Chain A
Amino acid sequence: MGFCALYLRDQTKGAALAAISREEVAHLAHLSRLAVTEQELDVFAGQLDVIIQAVAQVGQVAAADIPPTSHSVPLTNVLRDDVEEPCLTQAEALSGAPDAEDGRFRVPRILEEEA
């Protein structure tokens, strides 16, 4: 079977059964720290459903005994000598920050203020 046939078949086959619900997408968006709008949720839920049904094809491969590959370079524990080198100055490190104070990154309030 050719490629397109494979993709088209699976996309139509799964059309009736949703792989992901709008509520799940909303939850994932929250976990991802994305304040998505209701309109975006409507669009993303349908699109992600199509995408997830397509990528779920990896499940057709018999791979129970196959080791996973995380990256292609056969290197582990890459270490180097601890050599002193010039690095960014404090001002350079802070130069792109949206807000800085006293030589530090300023962040919004983390804890609720005491009454």
Chain B
Amino acid sequence: MSSELIRTSAAAIGAAIAAGEVSAVEVARAHLDRIAAVDDRVHAFLHVDAEGALAAAAEVDRRRAAGETLGPLAGVPVAVKDVLATKGVPTTCASKILEGWRPPYDATVVRRLREAGLVILGKTNMDEFAMGSSTEYSAYGPTRNPWDLGRIPGGSGGGSAASLVAYEAPLAIGTDTGGSIRQPGAVTGTVGAKPTYGGTSRYGLVAFSSSLDTPGPCARTVEDAALLHAVIAGYDPRDSTSIPAPVPPVVEAARRGATGDLTGVRIGMVREFAGEGAEPGVSAAVREGIEALVKLGAEVVEVSCPHFVYALPAYYLIAPSEASSNLARFDGVRYGLRVGDDGTHSLEEVMSLTREAGFGPEVKRRIILGTFALSSGYYEAYYGQAQKVRTLITRDFTAAFEQADVLVAPTTPFVAFPFGSRTSDPYQMYLADLFTIPSNLYGGPAISVPCGLSEGLPVGLQVMAPTMADDRMYRVAAALETVVPPPVPPALG
């Protein structure tokens, strides 16, 4: 039973618990057992909260037995990326500077999970402070891709994506600043959605780049992602850029898409993304995916977004600039590590020694890069110019969405790559974000959905939608799923 349970969709687990066919505690135990059996090889988790999970599951069972009506995901386990604050449960951002930190409060996303009765299994591995595309920048060692343990699971949210494909969790939470939900989804053969910026709250999300950071759902099916999206999204007065509007009807859209009918939907292919940017196998799989969408009734139009080629350079100025400011809070005073406080060093020296010891190489590179881009003499040419390019990218999207309902592209240019192949040249790592970044700069939603294999490894197709039209991408992604079912990874044993 437990081997079936862990391979079941979140929607079906929720329904089985509601019908009394299985208890939430049994479901939690099955997943905790799976984590105990395989996570020494996968390393998706930085912290497993077995006690908290079983207590939360028991509470769901108690409430159900008392006759309460609970939500569709009540009792369903979820893994949470270690960048979101969880009260009393270690939250490290995969950094040594926050080792052992137990937040005194819950992030809004975490609070909403608890209120909906989801069972938090633990905290997932990531690139340090969400900076990276492989989890190789985690201070606690990388996560391995269950498709091939010698390859990366994507990043920064590689732990969340790997936990799904290792059947350690049916649902996971990620955060997407430049592709950190979608690229791990693509390379693990799972679904990852970045909601509209401001559609999900940043309260309690440790800030990397505040104008871009967006929490979102990770799942093995489109419907599961939509169900989780509906739980975590919505206005939050504690986030000053939270959008005060109703959550788009994502679950309804996913179910409509699952009928396999896309009649009347206009799909825009971005001309500038159709070139040689992606590996041939990735391009071929995505082309086949688009042909499948056409067979379901969609109409393909070609759109031009001339500034998309400048999205990557603009992002790698804007995000590090914001990071250099945001990460100034790690000063060895209010939380985390302190080094050199032995009476012989000044406050400033203690700060510098703490940050030197606590941050890893990619975080240091980005802080230095951001400090450069914001420094007088360079500000206008770098950060200021990048902000103007951001405006032009937004205008490209606006024009494209006059011709098309959604845009499609590969999620990432390459399939899961071997460990160590991109760490010596950081810019080669940044290229993983080539196709995901435009939606971050624009703020619109985008989803990665499995789209076949290349060289035996998963490929993701990305569907981008206009701001606050998250439902559109779920409809198209769910329709694709009817003809390209989620790939099944090799057994971990």
Judging by beta carbons under 8 Å apart, are A48 and B313 in contact? no
Judging by beta carbons under 8 Å apart, are A35 and B356 in contact? yes
Instruction: Please give the distance in Å from B3's CB to the nearest CB on chain A.
Output: 40
Interface centre among B273, B368, B387 (most CB of A within 10 A): B368
**Residue ID in chain A nearest B238 by CB atoms:** A80
Judging by beta carbons under 8 Å apart, are A44 and B364 in contact? yes
Assess whether B487 is interfacial by the CB under 8 Å rule: no
Instruction: Please give the distance in Å from A72's CB to the nearest CB on chain B.
Output: 3
Q: Which of B218-249 contact A (CB under 8 A)?
A: 237, 240-241, 243
Q: Which B residues lie within 8 Å of A16 (CB)? A: none
CA A67 – CA B430 in complex, angstroms? 26
Contact of B104 among A2, A7, A11, A95 (CB under 8 A): A95
Q: Is the interface on chain A under 10, 10 to 19, 20 to 34, or 35 or more residues?
A: 35 or more
Judging by beta carbons under 8 Å apart, are B388 and A31 in contact? no
Judging by beta carbons under 8 Å apart, are B348 and A33 in contact? yes
Q: Which of A2-34 contact B (CB under 8 A)?
A: 2-7, 11, 20, 24-25, 28-34
Q: Which B residues lie within 8 Å of A34 (CB)? A: 352, 355-356, 359, 364, 367-368
Assess whether B197 is interfacial by the CB under 8 Å rule: yes
Cβ contacts A61-103/B at 8 Å (1 or 0 each): 1010011111111010010100000001000110111110000
Judging by beta carbons under 8 Å apart, are A11 and B348 in contact? no
Flag the segment in B6-14, B71-79, B108-116, B327-335 that touches A: B327-335
CA A105 – CA B356 in complex, angstroms? 21
CA A34 – CA B97 in complex, angstroms? 13
**Residue ID in chain A nearest B199 by CB atoms:** A73
Judging by beta carbons under 8 Å apart, are B367 and A3 in contact? no
Judging by beta carbons under 8 Å apart, are A88 and B313 in contact? no
Judging by beta carbons under 8 Å apart, are B309 and A6 in contact? yes
Flag the segment in B28-36, B337-345, B455-463 that touches A: B337-345
CA A8 – CA B442 in complex, angstroms? 26
CA A107 – CA B333 in complex, angstroms? 6
Q: Which of B303-339 contact A (CB under 8 A)?
A: 307, 309-310, 312-314, 316-317, 324, 328, 331-338
| Chain B residues proximal to chain A, CB less than 8 Å | 101-105, 197-198, 210-211, 237, 240-241, 243, 272-273, 275-277, 307, 309-310, 312-314, 316-317, 324, 328, 331-338, 341, 343, 345-353, 355-356, 359, 361, 364-365, 367-369, 371-373, 375, 381-382, 384-392, 394, 425-427, 430-431, 434, 441-444, 467
| Chain A residues proximal to chain B, CB less than 8 Å | 1-7, 11, 20, 24-25, 28-37, 40, 43-44, 47-48, 50-52, 54-61, 63, 66-73, 75, 78, 80, 88, 92-93, 95-99, 105, 107-110, 112
